[in-house]
Amino acid sequence: MKSKSLAAPYLVWMVLFTVIPLAIVAYYAFTDSQTGQFTLENVSNIGNYMPILIKSIWLALISSVICLIIGYPVAYFIAGCDEILQRFLYMLVMLPMCISFLLRTLAWVALTEDTGIINNIITALGMEPLPLIRNNGAVVLGMVYNYLPYMIMPLYTVIMKIDRNLVEAAEDLGCNGTNVFKRVIFPLSVPGIISGFTMVFVPAVSTFYISQKLGSSGTTLIGDVIESQFKTAYNPNLGAALSLVLMVMIFICIGVMNRFGDDEEVITL
């Protein structure tokens, strides 16, 4: 069929604006900022930033797990409602994403600061203010808050599509509620879990705004370092090298996650 050629402009576009730019990133990662010659210096410097990378992955991982624990019951509940309520609830979950995430994060800052809303209330009640902001917990809170809808969306889509007949069949065959969940619903929602996990993990691991606003001077994440190399300390070569490492790390993580899906012998999204 000739309609294959309809994809040609798209392919040209994607090669021009995603493949070539990534090649340029790789080129920058292996060249010297002054002379433009080939060097391994940027890549060998990466060792210094390993602790930061590990910390970023760790915080993103915690956030993804919390998102899953919070998101699953919500998605499960929404998928079980009647159609009209389903649409309405789904809309409610999506709606916060329409408002600038910068401002929403800033609202959390206003809530959790030492002189913020929560602490103002606490001190008004005569208690000692709590250290709510500028720690790892606050960064995780910011990530969970911002990316929770990305977890609920795919989970809901997958759970909703589970054939109710399967559940009934399992019940007819003598499964109780817990077992139906364990043996039918949960395994069938694995693709949703994987895709939700990815959708939370990737933006969380590379964030720079959340850690700048909610983190302490010690919670510098890999995204912060990359951003600073391109925005304040002019060293695009180091920034490119770090971007490359981040990319590889993410591909490894996604690969590992997809292994779960393969093992369950279900179709991945």
Partner 1 sequence: MKKIIPVLLSAVMLFTAMPVKANAEPVTINVYNWGQYISDGTDGYIDVNKAFTEATGIEVNYMTFDSNETMYTKLKTGGSTYDVIIPSDYMAARLIAEDMLEELDYSNIPNYAYVDEAYKNTTYDPDNKYTVPYTWGTVGVIYNKKYVDEADIGSWDLLWNSKYSGKILMFDNPRDAFAISELLLGLSINTEDEAELRSAAYKLIEQKPLVQSYVMDQIFDKMEREEAWIAPYYAGDYLLMVQENPDLGFYFPEEGFNLFIDAMCIPKGCQNKEAAEAYINFLCSAEISGQNLDYLGYSTPVSDAKQYMNPDTAASEIAYPTSETLENGSAFCYLQTETSQLMDSLWLEVKTQGSVDSYAIICMSAVAALLASYFVIHNIRKKKRLANRCKKWKQ
Partner 2 sequence: MKRFNKIFTVVVLFFLYIPMIVLAVASFNSGMDIAVFKGFTFDNYSELFRDSVLLPLLLNSVIVAVLSSFIATVLGSAAAIGIHSMGPRLRRFTMGVTNIPLTNPEIVTGVSLALLFAFVGTMMKINNILGFMTLLIAHITFNLPYVILSVMPKLQQMDPHLEEAAMDLGCTPVQAFFKVVIHEITPGIVSGALMAFTMSLDDFVISYFVYGPKFVTLPVEIYNYTKKPLQPKIYALFTLLFAAILLVMVLMNLLQVRDMKRNRENRRAFRRKQVNV
Which positions lie near partner 1, rule CB under 8 A? 2-3, 5-6, 8-9, 12-13, 16, 48-49, 51-52, 54-55, 57-59, 61, 113-115, 134, 216-220, 225, 228, 230-236, 256, 259, 263
Q: Is 233 in the site for partner 2 (CB under 8 A)?
A: no
Q: Which of 173, 231, 232, 202 is nearest to 56 (CA)?
A: 202
Contact call for residues 160 and 76 (beta carbons, < 8 A): no
Q: Exposed (0-12), middle (13-18) or buried (19+): which is 79, by Cβ within 10 Å?
A: buried
Near partner 2 by CB under 8 A: residue from 38, 84, 172, 217: 84
Handedness of CA 206, 207, 212, 214 (dihedral sign): negative
Per DSSP, 40 falls in state: S
Q: Is 252 in the site for partner 2 (CB under 8 A)?
A: no
Q: Which is nearer to partner 1, 96 or 131 (CB)?
A: 131
Q: Is 89 in the site for partner 2 (CB under 8 A)?
A: yes
Q: Is 1 in the site for partner 2 (CB under 8 A)?
A: yes
Near partner 2 by CB under 8 A: residue from 34, 37, 47, 91: 91
Strands (E), 117-215: none
Q: Is 99 in the site for partner 2 (CB under 8 A)?
A: yes
Residue with tokens 């699953």: 72
Tokens of 171: 């019940």
Q: Is 120 in the site for partner 2 (CB under 8 A)?
A: yes
Q: Is 243 in the site for partner 2 (CB under 8 A)?
A: yes
Among positions 144-163, residues that touch partner 2 (CB under 8 A) are: 145, 148-149
Q: Which is nearer to partner 2, 162 or 250 (CB)?
A: 250
User: In the complex, what is the shortest distance from the CB of residue 10 to partner 2, in angstroms, rounded to a whole number?
Assistant: 3
For the chain, the straight-line distance linking the first and the last C-alpha, in angstroms and rounded, comes to 26
Vertex 197: Cα angle to 224 and 144 (nearest 5): 55
Among positions 170-209, residues that touch partner 2 (CB under 8 A) are: 177, 198, 202-203, 205-206, 208-209
Q: Is 240 in the site for partner 2 (CB under 8 A)?
A: yes
CA 63 to CA 204: how far, in whole Å? 8
Among positions 40-69, residues that touch partner 2 (CB under 8 A) are: none
Cβ within 8 Å of residue 234, ≥6 positions away? 33
